């Protein structure tokens, strides 16, 4: 059962997927339409899941399930993954590339390969105070509190030069 994101409890489970590129207006409309239809009929063992989604910066898909009454099962989660893979194939997108980190710069999303982050921090291209997207958030509350935060305050800090942490 689809509900507005604001209506989900603070403990609602969150999955953050980032597209490998920005969606255009038609792609955004298609993704939103497909996800609303999916959430409207999403079930776990025959019971409707109270669910929602947000598409932010035309690049991040925030999928959520309020598990206070019915929890998402392995099969129901697999269904959401299947949908995102299908949408990715239709639109030439990849929602599953975990080898990049995204940063917010002048209200735009900048993506960098994890394998280059140490070099980018060392040469000053990126700084410990830069705002990054925390794709590891697991609940709505955590999403609202810490989806974006300075690199120095999140898991990406492991890529900072040692002197930046001192």
Structure confidence by residue, pLDDT tens digits, 116-143: 999 999 999 999 999 999 999 999 999 9
Structure confidence by residue, pLDDT tens digits, 60-77: 999 999 988 788 888 889
| Four-CA torsion 33, 34, 39, 42, nearest 10 degrees | 150
Query: Residue 110 and residue 69: Cα distance in Å, rounded?
Result: 38
pLDDT averaged over every residue in the chain = 94
Percent of the chain with pLDDT over 70: 98
Domain, as residue range, for 154: 100-133+145-165
Q: Is 84 in the same domain as 122?
A: no
Q: Number of folded domains in the chain?
A: 2
Which conformational region is residue 79 in: left (phi greater than 0), alpha (psi within -120 to 50 degrees), or beta? alpha
Residue 113: strand pairing partners: 100
Q: Quick one: pLDDT at residue 68?
A: 84
Q: Is residue 138 part of a domain?
A: no
Q: Is 12 in the same domain as 86?
A: yes
Of the candidates 129, 112, 132, the one whose C-alpha atom is nearest the C-alpha of residue 120 is 112
Which conformational region is residue 107 in: left (phi greater than 0), alpha (psi within -120 to 50 degrees), or beta? left
Query: Residue 50 and residue 70: Cα distance in Å, rounded?
Result: 8
Q: Is 79 in the same domain as 104?
A: no
Q: Is 17 in the same domain as 40?
A: yes
């Amino acid at each position: 059962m689809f509900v507005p994101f604001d209506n989900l409890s603070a403990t609602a489970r969150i999955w953050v997927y980032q597209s490998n590129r920005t969606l255009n207006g038609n792609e955004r409309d298609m993704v939103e339409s497909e996800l609303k239809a999916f959430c409207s009929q999403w079930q776990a063992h025959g019971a409707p899941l109270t669910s929602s989604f947000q598409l932010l910066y035309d690049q991040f898909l925030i999928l959520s399930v309020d598990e206070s009454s019915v929890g998402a099962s392995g099969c129901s989660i697999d269904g959401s993954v299947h949908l995102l893979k299908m949408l990715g194939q239709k639109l030439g997108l990849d929602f599953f590339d975990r080898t990049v980190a995204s940063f917010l710069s002048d209200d735009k999303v900048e993506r960098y390969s994890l394998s280059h982050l140490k070099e980018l921090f060392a040469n000053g291209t990126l700084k410990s105070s830069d705002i990054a997207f925390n794709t590891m958030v697991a609940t709505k509350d955590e999403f609202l509190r810490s989806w974006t935060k300075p690199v120095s305050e999140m898991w990406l800090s492991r890529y900072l030069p040692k002197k930046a942490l001192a």
